[in-house]
Chain A
């Protein structure tokens, strides 16, 4: 008998979204964490969002996730990144009070219906052949369930490095979990090592702030969440900028032999895109300075996070080089920087639902799949939770496409291409970037969300209202004309705008680079100027040409993206494939021809070969139908 419908292992950013999704879908859920005080803990930077990451947080929010709301609530600085660039590559980032964040998430979980939070360490999975039926805890107790979601983060066989000293653990103050990844390895999973690092935490009062440059957030708040108000709940604070010096680099260079990264102790691959300061100095040896931000970890804490200076050098070396940085001459380290090595499951072993290929009812999400970042973890947790729930409930799989959401891009990349280094999301990973903007998140995902049913009714109503208002404004702009009357031309001249040469629709008029919705309203037209409404509409209007091109490209790729590959396709029998291609295709088993195309090492000729094979399969089937007296159906593949 099942004690729970779903068990979630780990209460980090992935675990939270997973357990909230399952319990909100009405399933009796257990979440097991090794440390009940660290639910939704920000182990690294006290910040959420950023380019592409901010996109994902918004997508998650529209679908009914929790991260965006929590980030808004605990925001102590808000910024829209790349605001000078185009709308598709702007991203929202907030600094957070990490203790408030942790507190808020703990309360959310404790107050959630259908959810039980329990402290303990999962040692093993309960398996019935290749079906996961529950977990075994460190006290020996067996808990049964219909599905298990593992979100173990950096904890599986985690080893921390400070200088040449090592200690087991997934995070300072928390022990590693031993056993789980060994069991998976024994079952035949390809388990590899990755590495990540975190910078030292400094004592606020030991910093000479006068030598640093204050960086303030934006005054106007565009919260992540539909549910948040556009007023800050907490006091807003500044971050401070300073730079490493030539002396800093010298000290680090002299001590590279004490860095576990450089003397070969660490085997795991580190994130290329979030390098340690040792890495930066070696790789960019021509630069004699790197910028670093001093970020407060909260309003009521003395801890300062030193963004950009992750290191695993010994503590005394950290002291030495930090004190060569302006403002840090007398700095006190509260907690030194360190590196963590951990086990991850090579993600081509999981499906788009995040269920493993080999063990049924077992789902993996977050850093265990080789990703880096809270946001990447959270969205996977959500997808894994939803699919675990759907499996239990007998509903369809929930898979987002690459042209729908960054979530879709993330998971498709992981399960198709795998990863050898911690995977971080970038806008450039999304080939349909121009249509995957922050501003149109709700337009893209409203229908999906409403069908999914995780967004409370009141939020869904709000979402639909905004959608309707956007549609109304669009059609108003299309249908309303602006005429170059003398009066109008004078108004334009008064506002130092170029006069009109002919009458235009407001849509055409708004396409001008010097015209904004505010100007249109100011010229006497009734416009909805709520930025939630007008901004998205303006972007659609201004970039319509590019957006259309992108949509055309999506349409072209649809042919392959929509072509589902039969589950019983035997690649060995497809003529024209090389052994390497047969191997990769058999392992990854792409869902669609489009996915097959993205597998590295699968050549265009292989796609040709698969298509020919499918055609012949089809015609063979049709022939047999024919002989049975049935009509020939048109060959869909030929199109």
Chain B
């Protein structure tokens, strides 16, 4: 957890904010009341009263020894106008770990404290520059692995989700206030609000909550990437397909069935979205194998398929569909599915120009409720087929980030909004059932607690700990 001793208004912290290692430049961040005074001591040409949002060029030196360390640019942000809300300086030096270390050492000798993990963001939260949702978005932004996930993190940092939750909070507070007034001013002969008005307002809130909840799958997918599992019988070419989809060789491909015994995971960015593929051990009919390692591998495959956002169910066009495929398909019954018929180059049927997917699938007698899933005939050896499959994957999960849509992408937010939704539903039900305003009130209060906890407006030590411990130093 964040460091101890001294008041928030009196300590100045510093840390290297760029990743370790050699690079063009590195950035060292200082935050706290002594930032400018310290910079003034250690930097040639850095004035006593610098101007906010201005860069100052100069030589960084150790004021005790007078030894010069590097040529740097120092960017100054005044108190109240920075990320942390405190006086902040960002020193850009040459990207060498040696230089960074020497600058940091000098700053610490000058009385600054090394920052704890997440402390800059923690200070921003403490100084009310960010709410909890925004603080989490900083982490997401830093960790984002694709353009889309960076985009949603940035939107969250800019406060779109916070704005939405605040709006809901204020609507529900209005309802709660009016219910309370109706209880406590019952003798004043005032019509404070009607049941209809309350039901209407709360139904609107409920709708908004439901919309938010419905975005979670997509938000999570965009943030963490789309989990795609390749499953199928041994030697239908799953590993070749994986290599095709990745655009490079990741899995070992042999003619020997059952080569992939354990799972292989690899990711690729496609049109801004991270897609994580899992190549799984081949599925045999349970009577076919007794090799305990292989059985275990198959169990893992099954679990992976059940967890995945999308399953690519691979089969061999040359061999055709068989009862093992049938059995596993029923067994896994994936929600989101694409059939990949591989080895179209070898399959007699595929050479037939009159062949269409529907006819084949009918012949294969696929279970009706998944018969709407797309069927693609491909050859893992034909690089041109990659684009078709990738496009279908993206289409199947419809993960496009459209317009201004606000997305839930954190499990914590989802859980809280789900709670808020449940309590709002119960409040509306209580209004319908006419059980009494004080019971509607208790539901609404709990809904509000959930919303406020999302934003960190209520104190919960476990939540705070969880959020801030995920940060690295310098953030």
- Chain B minimum-CB-distance residue to A290: B189
By a CB distance below 8 angstroms, the chain B residues around A576 are 2, 7-8, 126
Given contacts A575-B6, A575-B8, is CB(A85)–CB(B186) below 8 Å? yes
Question: With A578-B127, A582-B7 as given contacts, are A85 and B436 in contact (CB-CB < 8 Å)?
Answer: yes
Query: When the two chains form their complex, are residues B437 and A578 in contact, meaning their CB atoms are under 8 A apart?
Result: no
- CB B154 to nearest CB in A, in angstroms, measures 24
Indicate if A599 sits at the interface (CB-CB under 8 A).
no
Whether B125 is near chain A, meaning CB under 8 Å from some CB there, is: yes
Q: How far is the CB of B97 from chain A (nearest CB, A)?
A: 30
- The verdict on A257 contacting chain B, using a C-beta distance below 8 Å, is no
**Distance from A56 Cβ to chain B, minimum over Cβ atoms (Å):** 14
- Stretch from B34-42, B48-56, B241-249, B458-466 at the A interface: B458-466
Give chain A's interface residue range (CB within 8 Å of chain B): 35 or more
Find out whether the CB atom of B456 lies under 8 angstroms from the CB atom of A573: no
A623 interface residue (CB < 8 Å to B)? no
Most A CB within 10 A of own CB, among B4, B435, B457: B4
Give 1 or 0 for each of B170-210: 1 = CB within 8 Å of chain A CB: 00000000001001101111000000000000000000000
Is the Cβ of A609 less than 8 Å from the Cβ of B126?
Answer: yes
User: Beta-carbon contacts of B405-446 to A below 8 Å, as 1s and 0s?
Assistant: 000000000000000000000000000000111110110011
A265 adjacent to chain B (CB < 8 Å): no
Given the known A-B contacts A85-B183, A89-B437, are A612 and B4 also in contact in the complex, defined by CB atoms under 8 Å? yes
Q: With contacts A577-B8, A578-B8 known, is A428 near B437, CB below 8 A? A: no
Of A149-157, A313-321, A405-413, A600-608, the stretch lying at the interface with chain B is: A600-608
Interfacial chain A residues near B126, Cβ < 8 Å: 576, 578, 603, 605, 609
CB pair B437 A86 closer than 8 Å: yes
From 532 to 561 in chain A, residues with beta carbon under 8 angstroms from any chain B beta carbon are 543, 546, 549-550, 553
Question: A51 with B186: in contact, given A575-B8, A576-B126, A605-B125 (CB under 8 Å)?
Answer: yes
**Cβ contact within 8 Å between A86 and B436:** yes
CB–CB B456/A604 < 8 A: yes
Q: How far is the CA of A543 from the CA of B435 in the complex (A)?
A: 10
- Complex CA–CA separation, A578 to B85 (angstroms): 12
Closest to B440 in A: A86
The yes or no answer to A440 lying at the interface (CB within 8 A) is no
Q: In the complex, what residues of B have CB within 8 A of residue A573's CB?
A: 5-7
B127, B188, B438, B458: which contacts A434 (Cβ < 8 A)?
B438
Contact B184 A426 (CB under 8 A): yes
Interface residues of B in 125-145 (CB under 8 A from A): 125-128
Cβ contacts under 8 Å, B4 to chain A: 575, 612-613, 616
Known: A291-B189, A433-B438, A576-B126. A427 touches B183 (CB 8 A): yes
CB neighbours (8 Å) of B128 from chain A are 603
Which residues of chain B are within 8 angstroms of A603 by Cβ–Cβ distance?
126, 128
Closest Cβ neighbor of B4 among chain A residues: A616
Known pairs A85-B438, A546-B442, A575-B7; A604 contacts B457 (CB<8 A)? yes
- Cα of A605 to Cα of B437 in the assembled complex, Å: 33
Contact residues in A for B188 (Cβ distance below 8 Å): 291
Interface centre among A81, A572, A577, A605 (most CB of B within 10 A): A605
Closest to B455 in A: A604
Question: Could you tell me which residues of chain A, from 471 to 526, have a CB within 8 Å of some CB in chain B?
Answer: none
Q: Does A611 contact B (CB under 8 A)?
A: yes
**Contacting pair A608 B464 (CB below 8 A):** yes
Q: Is the interface of B mostly helix, strand, loop or mixed?
A: loop
Instruction: Check B7–A51 contact: CB distance below 8 A.
Output: no
Hey, which chain A residues are within 8 Å of B436, CB to CB? 85-86, 89
| Contact code string A589-628 (vs B, CB < 8 Å = 1, else 0) | 0000000010000011101110111001000000000000
CB distance from B79 to the nearest CB of A (A): 12
Q: Which residues of A contact B442 (CB under 8 A)?
A: 434, 546, 549-550
The distance in angstroms between the C-alpha atoms of A624 and B71, with both chains bound, is: 46
Is B25 among interface residues, defined by CB-CB distance under 8 A?
no
Residue of B nearest to A582 (CB): B7
- Is B99 part of the binding interface, using a Cβ–Cβ cutoff of 8 Å? no
Report which residue of A50, A574, A604, A607 has the largest number of chain B beta carbons within 10 angstroms of its beta carbon: A604
Shortest CB–CB separation between residue B141 and chain A, in angstroms?
21
B251 within 8 A of A: no
Q: Mark A75-90, 1 if CB is under 8 A from B, else 0.
A: 0000001100110110
Asked if A304 is at the interface (CB within 8 A of a chain B CB), the reply is no
Are A427 and B437 in touch, CB under 8 angstroms? Answer: no
Shortest Cβ distance from B391 into chain A, in angstroms?
Answer: 46
Expressed in whole angstroms, the Cα–Cα distance for A572 and B445 within the complex equals 34
Residues of B within 8 Å of A549, CB to CB, are 442, 446
Nearest residue (CB) in A for B453 is: A604
A273 to B405, CA, bound (A): 43
**A611 to B464 CA separation, bound complex (whole angstroms):** 12
Q: Size range of the interface on B?
A: 35 or more
Residues of A within 8 A of B127 (CB): 578
* B2: min CB distance to chain A, Å: 7
Please tell me if B349 contacts chain A, counting CB pairs below 8 Å. Answer: no
Known A86-B435, A86-B436; contact A575-B3, beta-carbon cutoff 8 A: yes
Q: How far is the CA of A291 from the CA of B460 in the complex (A)?
A: 46
Interface residues of B in 218-249 (CB under 8 A from A): none
CB contacts (< 8 Å) of A427 on chain B: these are 183-184, 438
**Residues of B with C-beta under 8 A to A431:** 445
A611 contact set on B, CB distance < 8 A: 461
- Is A612 touching B5 in the complex (CB atoms < 8 A)? no
Is A616 a contact partner of B184 (Cβ separation < 8 A)?
A: no
Query: Is the Cβ of B459 less than 8 Å from the Cβ of A607?
Result: yes
Q: B445 — which chain A residues lie within 8 A by C-beta?
A: 431
Determine if B8 and A86 form an interchain contact, defined as CB atoms under 8 angstroms apart.
Answer: no
Name which residue of chain A comes closest to B11, CB basis. A575
User: Is A52's beta carbon under 8 Å from chain B?
Assistant: yes
Does B9 count as interface, using CB distance less than 8 angstroms?
Answer: yes
Residues of B within 8 A of A543 (CB): 439
Tell me the A418-432 residues at the B interface (CB within 8 Å): 426-428, 431
* In the bound complex, CA of A50 to CA of B9 (Å): 48
Residue of B8, B183, B460 near A89 (CB, 8 A) is B183
Q: Which residue of B lies closest to A428 (CB)?
A: B180
- Measured between beta carbons, the chain B residues less than 8 angstroms from A51 are 183-184, 186-187
List which B60-79 residues lie within 8 A (CB) of chain A: none
B269 proximal to A (CB < 8 A): no
A285 part of interface (Cβ distance < 8 Å) = no
Contact, CB under 8 Å: A81 / B186: yes
B1 in contact (CB, < 8 A): yes
Distance in angstroms from B408 CB to nearest chain A CB is 22
Q: A487 to B188: give the CA distance in the assembly, Å.
A: 49
Does A612 contact B1, Cβ atoms closer than 8 Å? Answer: yes
A7-26 CB contacts (< 8 Å) to partner B: none
Assess the B461–A85 pair: CB atoms within 8 A.
no
Q: In the complex, are the beta carbons of B9 and A578 less than 8 A apart? A: yes
Closest to A88 in B: B438
- Shortest distance in angstroms between A477's beta carbon and chain B's nearest beta carbon? 21
**How far is B188's CA from A553's CA once the two chains are assembled, in angstroms?**
31
Q: Is A579 an interface residue (CB 8 A)?
A: yes
Task: Evaluate whether A608 and B184 lie within 8 angstroms (CB atoms) in the complex, with A574-B7, A575-B5 already known.
Answer: no
CB-nearest residue of chain A relative to B460?
A: A604
- For B9, B457, B460, the residue with the greatest tally of chain A CB atoms inside 10 Å of its CB is B9
- Shortest CB-to-CB span from A620 to chain B, Å, is 9
Write the chain B residue with the least CB distance to A82.
Answer: B186
Inside 8 A of A88's CB, which chain B residues have their CB? Answer: 438
Q: Which residues of B contact A578 (CB under 8 A)?
A: 8-9, 126-127
Nearest residue in A to B1 (C-beta to C-beta)?
A612
**Complex: A604 Cα to B461 Cα, angstroms:** 9
Within the complex, the shortest CB–CB distance from A248 to chain B, in Å, comes to 16
What residues on B are CB-neighbors of A616 within 8 Å? 4-5
Which residues of A have CB within 8 Å of B9? 578-579
Do A82 and B7 form a contact, CB below 8 Å, given A549-B442, A576-B2?
no
Residues of B within 8 A of A433 (CB): 438, 441
Q: List 7 A-B contacts (CB under 8 A).
A: A81-B186, A81-B187, A86-B438, A546-B442, A549-B446, A603-B128, A608-B464
Q: Which 8 A-B pairs have the closest CB atoms?
A: A86-B436, A604-B459, A428-B180, A607-B459, A426-B184, A616-B4, A291-B189, A605-B126
